[in-house]
Structure 1
Amino acid sequence: MASPVNPPRGMRDFLPADKARREHALGIIRGVYRSHGFDEIETPVVEEHGRLHSGLGGDNEKLSFSILKRGIKPEVLDAAAAAGDPEQLADLGLRFDLTVPLARYYATHRAELPPVFRAIQIAPVWRAERPQKGRYRQFVQADIDIIGEAGVLAEVELITATSQALAELGLSGCVIRVNDRRILFGLLSEIGLDAEHHNRALITIDKLDKIGVDGVTAELAETDPAAAEKLRGVLEGVGPALAAGIPVSRESIEAVLPALAENDGIENLATLGSALQGGLPEGVEIHFDPTLVRGMGYYTGTIFEIAHPGSGSSVGGGGRYDGMIGRFLGRNVPAVGFSIGFERVVDLIAIDDNAGPEAVVLVTDADTPLDELMAIKRDLVAQGKRVRIEKRQKNMKTLLARVAAEGFTAFANVSTGTDSGSLNWRELAD
């Protein structure tokens, strides 16, 4: 007996009903983003290997899939094996996110784009993840980015559009957690940690939800025990306020971080919170979280993540990355982006399987003239219906149950001499 032929580990096939649900959800996201003035673009699924491994992608670079050069000679293969460096054999790689390709895209096409460019990217990306629930090796990201706007307006637009998309998907109970990298660096300086250790310390703080305050303190103590104990005091002190939800306002932020009152990041978040006051849809809240880090090293200012009680991980996130595009252009260009974790979101929402055009089935006899059958189908399609032709079977109950499960709502029998006006429609049971 042949073994099952499954897709590669960490990747999935989608049956028609699943694909339809996903496309319906993506259609909602696209529609909301376009209504907010964003334009959709497309980039290749591969980028140059050196670009994907230039330090812009943080830890995700370690999870990238590389593509071998064509025509590699055996002696080159042997040399790479002996050196223990197979990456020297690659010249391309599959994209691991949509931000690095966007930066390259902007650098390539900046003369053809407006001064402030609002981009939509919805596409698959690939990472060599250890497959588990919510983590796949191929998955879809739904991103919006604003390039060329240095002010808080960009963050406000991104959060407003994303929160509306979540609401229209029916995903209630979302909390958008926000922070600013400048606050994090200011906090590390305040506890006396040398600047050379800041980036490593942020990686440690980013593990807070996994290893707890004791784990963070122990790991940082390997570098600076005194600073680690001061950080413990900060984390334990903000714990109760975090649990209750800290409003994004100057007063609330300074109340939990009084030593950082002059930090530019607090001014930035205070402006953001004021602009969003009363502007988020029902079911979406925004809170300040001084422990939010975001693992990508390219963030330079505001950072944000979407939390939802139905998911053990974030269902979206992003932030400001003003330095990335400068790596391609030689000058910095302000940029900020927000990504919805589509795979996690689509598992949390209930989608009306009957959304879209009315779906009907024509059950035809074997001897029905083909020209008559197709005339009926053309007429129904012209009326805006989705039409499926099925041949009559002995076991009609099985056929009708199948098409009902696929989202069709009515059927009619077609025989010789039938036209679209004489069809006798019968509803399909759910």
Structure 2
Amino acid sequence: MKTKKLLRIEAAAVAAALALALAAGCAEQTPEPGNVSEEVSIPVILTVDSSTGIRNEEKLINAFNQLYNGRWQADVEWIMETEEEYRQNLKRQNVTDTLPALITDLRMLPSFYYMMIEDGRIEELSKYIEADEEWKAMIEPSVLASCREEDGSIYLGPISTAAFACSGMFWNEELFAQAGIESFPETWEEFWQCCEQLKSCGITPLALHTEGTAWAPMLIATAEVASTEEGADFMQQFYPETYQNESGLRIAKTLQKLFSYTTEDALYRDFDVAYENFFSGQAAMIPNGYWMMDQVPEKWQDKVRFSAFPENKLISSPETFGWAIVSSYSEEVKEGAAALLKLRTRMNMEQREELFSKDPSEMIPAERDYIAVYKNSPQLVPNYQVKWNSILQEDTLGEILPELVQNKMTPEEFTAREDESIRRFLEEQ
């Protein structure tokens, strides 16, 4: 995120999905390729990863256009924007009525997401998913539940599995070895000792940033606060009423401590700078999710490992990977968009099956680590980006976090400013 990159899809999974879809007719309830007079365009906007130049979800788009050639065509505008820029542009496009037919990342903007529901701007998807037994069967119950609203409605086309939706810590095995550290720390006490040991050896422990939603440091701080029962309960709260409590102060103090172990250029920078610092060997650890496997440069693949956060914790919110369909488009376009969402679910399912049956010798070390971590029953902590108000994430954090970590603001003042964001948010609703 910042970070949050879209799901990794292997070429073999694409081929398997296409073969299965073609053989099965791609399900009874989802419209099939057929004899139509004109191919229907499905407008989509997707990002190009600024760090690697990779077009996110390109394999999915190619597979869809091949499968539905002559019926539907996913017409993608590829944009070189950060995920934060993309999300902000969604709001502008909504006002100007220029939204594409499919929206990604919508659940990363909780208040905007619910406004879109209230305004009838995005399609309720139960009529597609519930009526299609094949599609529904592809989705893990916990993933489908995460996409449901309290009234049972579904506005997010879900992925199949939570297996690729988790974040932990990537770390440089070479730098750890230089500091005499043989393995990733298992407790938070050991984690801080690890940071001290790396620092004492002249190695910067962490690649962090403050801009955007402060994705990297917030992953660590929210995983750490969940080490107590009160903190775990706090991370389950949707739109907390206050941060001036034990958990809020603990997060602030952890953030302050984290930035004593990072690079000098971490302030007022976004995740791409943290990424470059990690993959140039200037820092030993960076938090991120499974999707970064595709972004590990080839020369770094033997050096980079993956671990859960201390105490066997992962950050996971599979609903953040759900895509929404814009309601203002024609029924033909919306049917095509639903078919694309179903194919995305299928390919994600095939990807999981392929990965979990893959010969470990064919994987990079971080990927082997990830599977072992996921199978080790980790505690899943919700992503703060689907729990906290948008003003706090998009405006307040980037403004006050640098002040906190430079000791120009106390943790108490920091949490008071967080509470100001709550008041502003409520006033704007």
TM-score (norm 2): 0.24
> Could you say which structure has the larger radius of gyration?
1
Give the number of the structure whose residues are more often helix, by fraction. 2
